[in-house]
């Protein structure tokens, strides 16, 4: 995509020459638009940019009803417009090939049009809308059980599989890429809820709660930092991760022995390295951590770096608390932070 400032200028000037090069999503409304959209200009800090409609959809944004970003530049056939409207009216509904045939549509023709126009099949588009709404619900604090069953899935495993397909590379790209060139994703069940793990062949690079508000941002950061596609699958690191997490939650493990890779800014790395030095069963305040790093006035910056940690539990950001003894913040939810601290305190 063009540089951010260039895209902001194109959006502000409603420049049609940029239509199709990127899409602008407004975080305060949950809507994404073409650059030429006639809608009121959003504040720059509320705008996120995506290269394709697919990326905007899976991040949880709805297509704008004014500029209609899902319409092809040369016009959308009536049957496609009706299908899109049907999905938008109820994204959780399942539209099968039999339903398409009942409306006089050829499923293969529908698939080809969506693939050519939006880079995804019609079923992938439907799945993206369901998952997008599900991500929004998770970010809003809805319980994962409610999200799974209220957004068109009949089981946790169905949601998990759809999530893995969504986060990964396109199937052809993932199948053709050598294993070592991918970041593999897997789903782990733990006493504090599910976790999504990401690893190369050599190191663990992510361990996150799927209902965390920053989940999509963390996946995007992985793509940028490592320059590799994400795909569901297995890594040589995962068996050891599962075994050590089981031991940790059983109170039999106090330190993890896993290969880790966590690129970040120099300050972020310094904070994450300091987190690894906090002993099991102990805590530090944000201010104490800042003083340890030689930056006594940087407690807030320490908090931000703490929140950007991509390796929950393994890099123990849950051991950092507020100055008054309160829990402070935690991306996975304060109940999880309390549970982890209670576990470690009970095991000492």
Residue 249 dihedral angles phi and psi, to the nearest 5°: -70, -20
What gap in Å lies between CA 69 and CA 201, rounded to an integer? 38
> Per the residue annotation, which of 37, 64, 317, 348 is the catalytic one?
317
Residue in the structure block whose two tokens are 């200028």: 9
Q: What is the DSSP letter of 168?
A: S
What gap in Å lies between CA 4 and CA 45, rounded to an integer? 11
The token duo for 3 is 């540089």
269 close to 212: Cβ distance less than 8 angstroms? no
The token duo for 77 is 């056939």
Report the length, in residues, of the chain: 348
What gap in Å lies between CA 195 and CA 187, rounded to an integer? 6
122 close to 103: Cβ distance less than 8 angstroms? no
Catalytic status, residue 317 = yes
206 close to 310: Cβ distance less than 8 angstroms? yes
Q: Which of 298, 268, 166, 174 is nearest to 220 (CA)?
A: 166
What gap in Å lies between CA 302 and CA 96, rounded to an integer? 49
Query: Per residue in 37-48, is it b (16+ CB within 10 Å) or e — as a string?
Result: bebeebeeeebb
Q: What is the DSSP letter of 144?
A: H
The token duo for 21 is 């090069």
305 close to 290: Cβ distance less than 8 angstroms? no
Sheet of strand 62-63, all strands in order from the earlier edge strand to the far edge: 47-50, 23-26, 31-33, 62-63
Catalytic residues: 317
């Amino acid at each position: 995509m063009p540089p951010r400032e260039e895209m902001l200028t194109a959006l502000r000037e409603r420049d049609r020459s940029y239509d199709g090069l990127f899409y602008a999503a407004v975080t305060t409304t949950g809507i994404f638009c073409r650059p030429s959209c006639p809608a009121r200009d959003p504040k720059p800090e509320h705008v996120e940019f995506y290269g394709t409609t697919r990326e905007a959809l899976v991040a949880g944004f709805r297509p704008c009803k004014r500029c209609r970003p899902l319409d092809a530049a040369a016009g959308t056939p009536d049957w496609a417009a009706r299908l899109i409207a049907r999905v938008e009216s109820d994204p959780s509904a399942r539209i099968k090939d039999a339903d398409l045939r009942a409306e006089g549509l050829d499923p293969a023709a529908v698939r080809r049009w969506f693939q050519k126009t939006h880079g995804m099949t019609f079923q992938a588009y439907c799945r993206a809308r369901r998952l997008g709404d599900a991500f929004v619900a998770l970010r809003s604090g809805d319980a994962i059980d409610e999200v799974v069953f209220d957004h068109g899935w009949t089981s946790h495993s169905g949601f998990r599989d759809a999530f893995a397909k969504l986060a990964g590379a396109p199937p052809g790209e993932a199948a053709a890429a050598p294993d070592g060139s991918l970041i593999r994703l897997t789903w782990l069940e733990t006493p504090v809820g599910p976790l999504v793990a990401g690893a190369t062949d050599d190191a663990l690079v992510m361990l996150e709660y799927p209902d965390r508000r920053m989940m999509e941002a963390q996946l995007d950061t992985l793509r940028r930092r490592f320059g590799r596609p994400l795909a569901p699958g297995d890594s040589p690191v995962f068996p050891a991760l599962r075994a050590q997490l089981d031991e940790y939650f059983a109170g039999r493990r106090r330190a993890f022995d896993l290969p880790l890779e966590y690129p970040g800014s120099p300050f972020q790395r310094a904070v994450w390295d300091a987190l690894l030095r906090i002993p099991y069963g102990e805590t530090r305040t944000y201010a104490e951590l800042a003083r340890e790093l030689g930056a006594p006035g940087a407690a807030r910056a320490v908090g931000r770096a703490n929140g950007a940690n991509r390796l929950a539990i393994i890099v123990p950001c849950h051991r950092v608390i507020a100055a008054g003894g309160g829990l402070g913040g935690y991306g996975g939810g304060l109940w999880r932070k309390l549970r982890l601290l209670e576990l470690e305190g009970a095991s000492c």
